[in-house]
C-alpha cells in the first residue's frame, strides 16, 4: 500500500446518542488511546482523535493498516465481549482524497447536526494541537489541517454560512427562555454541571440572555471556582450532585465527560424542572422525563430545536461546497507533486547506486554524477512505468543505459 491518510467515523448521521457514547473517548483518556493505537499499529505516522458530542473520528496516516482494521480494533477495545454492534454505523475510507474531503466537510459544519456549527473548528484545532504535542502530525495530516484552516477562513469571509449563532450551548439557553416565557425566567435557579467547552460556551452566550441566578458544580472544585469567579456566579457542592440533592433547581444543564447516569433520582415538588443533557455518555437518566413536572432534552432533541438562521445557511451551502472542492483540488495538486518528488528522488538514488557499480574503482565523483544525471534525463519520461517495476528489472534498465553512456566517455 502507498502512504495514505485514512479515517473512521461514528456520528449522529449513522448512530443514536446511546450508540455513539460507547465509542466516546474522554479527554483524560486520549493519551492512553493514542499510546495503545500507536503500539498496536506501529507504522502510524500521523494520528488525530476527534471526539465531540456528536462524533468520534480517528484520522491516521499509514502505509499498511486499513481503516477497517482500526475500526474493528476500536470495537473490540470499547465493546464488551458479550456485546455486538452493526459495523455499518461507522463510515470509513482508505483514500487520502476521500479522507481530506470528509475532514473539510466536517470542519466546515456541513456535517454537523446544526448546519454551520462553528464550534467544530475549535475542537479540530485542539485535537491537532494534541497530535503535535505527541509528534503525530504526519505530513499528509498536517497539510490537510492547513487546508481546513484555509477553507474555514474563506467560508467566514466569502459566504453567509457562519452568520448567526446555532451552537448547542446557545440553543440550550434559548430552550430555557422558550419553556419559561415570562420575565421570571431571568431569575430561575439554574445549575451548570461541568467545566468543559460546553459550559464555557453557556457562560459566553448568557450575555445575550442575562440569567442571573446561576450555580456551577464540577468534579474539580478549583475549576468550578475559577469559572464562578470569572462569570460572577455561585458554586454548588459536587457531593450534592453525586447524591442527587438538587431539589431547589428549576433548570439543570449537565455536560460532564465520562460520567454516565450521574443524575438518576430527582425529587420534584410543585415547580417545573427543565433537564438538559448535553453530555456523551449521557449524564441524566432518560426515565426522569416521565416524572410529573419534568421537561427533558438531550443532544438529539436540542439539535432539532430553534432553527433560526437555517434558511440563510442552506442558501450558502453551494458556496461552501465550491470552496471545499477548490481546496481539495489544491491539496491533491500538492499531494501529486509530493509523490512525484519522492518518486524522482528514489529513482535518482537507484540510478546512482547502479552507475557507481559500473565504474572502475577510484573513479572521480564528477563522472559518476555526470552519468547519473544523463541516465536520469533519459528515463524521466518513463518515471510512472519504472516505479511499478520490480527492483531487479529497474536495475537492469538503468545498467543498460549507464553502460552505453560510460562506453562513450
Would you say residue 406 has pLDDT above 70?
Answer: no
pLDDT the model gives residue 45: 92
Question: Mind listing the pLDDT tens digit for each residue in 192-215?
Answer: 999 999 999 999 999 889 999 999
Would you say residue 19 has pLDDT above 60?
Answer: yes
Q: For the chain, how many residues are written?
A: 409
Q: Which residue has the higher pLDDT, 331 or 337?
A: 331
- Residue 123: give its domain's CATH number: 3.30.460.30
Instruction: Tell me whether strands 190-193 and 214-217 are parallel, antiparallel or unpaired.
Output: parallel
**248-252, 343-347, 360-364, range with greatest mean pLDDT:** 248-252
Q: pTM (2 decimals)?
A: 0.65
Within 8 A by CB and 6+ apart from 407, the residues are none
Q: Please say whether the beta carbons of 186 and 212 come within 8 A.
A: yes
248 part of a folded domain: yes
Q: Please say whether the beta carbons of 380 and 344 come within 8 A.
A: yes
Model confidence band, residue 346 (pLDDT cutoffs 50, 70, 90): confident
Within 8 A by CB and 6+ apart from 129, the residues are none
pLDDT the model gives residue 166: 62
Q: Distance between CA 216 and CA 213 in Å, rounded? A: 10
As given in the structure block, the three cell numbers for residue 122 are: 475549535
pLDDT the model gives residue 12: 94
Q: Which residue has the higher pLDDT, 85 or 269?
A: 85
Please report which helix (H) or strand (E) contains residue 191, including its range: strand 190-193
How many structural domains compose the chain?
Answer: 3
* Residues 36 and 108 both lie in one domain: yes
Q: Distance between CA 58 and CA 10 in Å, rounded? A: 9
Q: Distance between CA 352 and CA 15 in Å, rounded? A: 55
* Residues 39 and 146 both lie in one domain: yes
Average the pLDDT over 71-83 and give the result.
87
Would you say residue 301 has pLDDT above 80?
Answer: yes
Instruction: Tell me whether strands 55-62 and 46-51 are parallel, antiparallel or unpaired.
Output: antiparallel
Q: Which residue has the higher pLDDT, 168 or 202?
A: 202
Q: Please say whether the beta carbons of 232 and 213 come within 8 A.
A: no
Of the candidates 52, 62, 198, the one whose C-alpha atom is nearest the C-alpha of residue 139 is: 62
Would you say residue 49 has pLDDT above 90?
Answer: yes
pLDDT the model gives residue 362: 59
Question: Mind listing the pLDDT tens digit for each residue in 93-118?
Answer: 999 999 999 999 999 999 988 788 87
- Residue 263: give its domain's CATH number: 3.40.50.720
Q: Which residue has the higher pLDDT, 90 or 337?
A: 90
12 part of a folded domain: yes
Last residue of some domain: 275, 302, 329? 302
- Containing domain of residue 292, as a range? 168-302
pLDDT the model gives residue 136: 96
- CB atoms under 10 Å from CB of 62, counted, come to 24
pLDDT the model gives residue 181: 74
Model confidence band, residue 186 (pLDDT cutoffs 50, 70, 90): confident
Q: Distance between CA 300 and CA 244 in Å, rounded? A: 24
Would you say residue 354 has pLDDT above 90?
Answer: no
Would you say residue 409 has pLDDT above 70?
Answer: no
Q: Which residue has the higher pLDDT, 123 or 343?
A: 123
In the chain, what are the helix, strand and coil shares in percent, each to the nearest 5?
A: 55, 15, 30
* Residues 118 and 205 both lie in one domain: no
145 HSE (CA, 13 A, CB side)? 26
Model confidence band, residue 389 (pLDDT cutoffs 50, 70, 90): low
Average the pLDDT over 283-293 and give the result.
92
* Residues 11 and 154 both lie in one domain: yes
Last residue of some domain: 243, 269, 302? 302
* Residues 21 and 153 both lie in one domain: yes
340 part of a folded domain: no
Would you say residue 91 has pLDDT above 80?
Answer: yes
Q: Kindly tell me the sign of the dihedral angle through the C-alpha atoms of 27, 300, 6, 327.
A: negative
pLDDT the model gives residue 267: 84
pLDDT the model gives residue 140: 95
Model confidence band, residue 1 (pLDDT cutoffs 50, 70, 90): low
Amino acid at each position: 500500500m502507498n502512504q495514505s491518510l485514512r479515517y473512521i467515523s461514528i456520528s449522529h448521521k449513522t448512530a443514536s446518542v446511546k450508540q455513539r457514547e460507547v465509542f466516546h473517548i474522554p479527554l483524560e483518556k486520549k493519551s492512553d488511546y493514542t499510546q495503545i493505537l500507536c503500539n498496536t499499529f506501529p507504522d502510524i505516522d500521523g494520528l488525530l482523535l476527534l471526539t465531540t458530542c456528536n462524533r468520534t473520528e480517528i484520522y491516521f496516516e499509514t502505509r499498511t493498516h486499513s481503516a477497517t482494521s482500526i475500526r474493528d480494533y476500536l470495537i473490540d477495545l470499547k465493546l464488551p465481549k458479550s456485546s455486538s454492534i452493526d459495523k455499518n454505523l461507522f463510515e470509513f475510507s482508505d483514500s487520502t482524497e476521500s479522507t481530506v474531503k470528509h475532514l473539510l466537510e466536517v470542519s466546515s459544519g456541513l456535517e454537523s447536526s446544526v448546519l454551520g456549527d462553528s464550534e467544530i473548528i475549535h475542537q479540530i484545532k485542539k485535537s491537532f494541537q494534541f497530535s503535535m504535542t505527541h509528534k503525530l502530525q504526519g505530513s499528509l495530516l498536517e497539510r490537510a489541517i492547513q487546508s481546513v484552516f484555509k477553507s474555514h477562513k474563506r467560508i467566514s469571509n466569502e459566504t453567509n454560512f457562519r452568520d448567526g449563532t446555532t451552537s448547542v450551548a446557545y440553543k440550550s439557553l434559548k430552550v430555557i427562555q422558550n419553556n419559561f416565557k415570562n420575565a421570571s425566567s431571568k431569575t430561575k435557579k439554574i445549575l451548570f454541571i461541568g467545566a468543559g467547552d460546553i459550559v464555557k460556551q453557556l457562560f459566553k452566550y448568557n450575555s445575550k440572555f442575562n440569567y442571573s441566578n446561576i450555580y456551577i458544580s464540577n468534579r474539580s472544585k478549583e475549576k468550578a471556582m475559577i469559572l464562578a469567579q470569572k462569570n460572577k456566579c455561585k458554586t454548588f457542592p459536587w457531593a450534592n450532585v453525586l447524591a442527587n440533592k438538587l431539589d431547589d433547581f428549576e433548570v439543570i444543564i449537565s455536560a460532564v465527560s465520562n460520567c454516565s447516569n450521574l443524575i438518576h433520582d430527582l425529587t420534584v415538588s410543585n415547580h417545573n424542572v427543565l433537564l438538559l443533557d448535553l453530555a456523551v455518555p449521557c449524564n441524566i437518566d432518560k426515565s426522569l422525563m416521565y416524572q410529573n413536572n419534568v421537561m427533558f432534552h438531550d443532544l438529539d432533541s436540542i439539535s432539532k430545536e430553534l432553527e433560526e438562521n437555517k434558511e440563510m445557511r442552506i442558501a450558502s451551502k453551494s458556496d461552501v461546497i465550491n470552496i471545499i472542492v477548490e481546496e481539495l483540488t489544491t491539496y491533491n495538486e500538492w499531494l501529486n507533486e509530493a509523490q512525484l518528488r519522492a518518486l524522482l528522488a528514489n529513482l535518482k538514488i537507484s540510478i546512482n547506486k547502479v552507475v557507481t557499480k559500473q565504474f572502475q574503482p577510484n573513479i572521480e565523483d564528477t563522472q559518476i554524477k555526470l552519468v547519473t544525471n544523463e541516465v536520469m534525463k533519459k528515463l524521466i519520461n518513463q518515471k510512472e512505468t519504472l516505479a511499478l517495476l520490480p527492483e531487479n528489472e529497474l536495475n537492469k534498465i538503468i545498467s543498460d543505459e549507464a553502460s552505453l553512456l560510460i562506453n562513450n566517455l
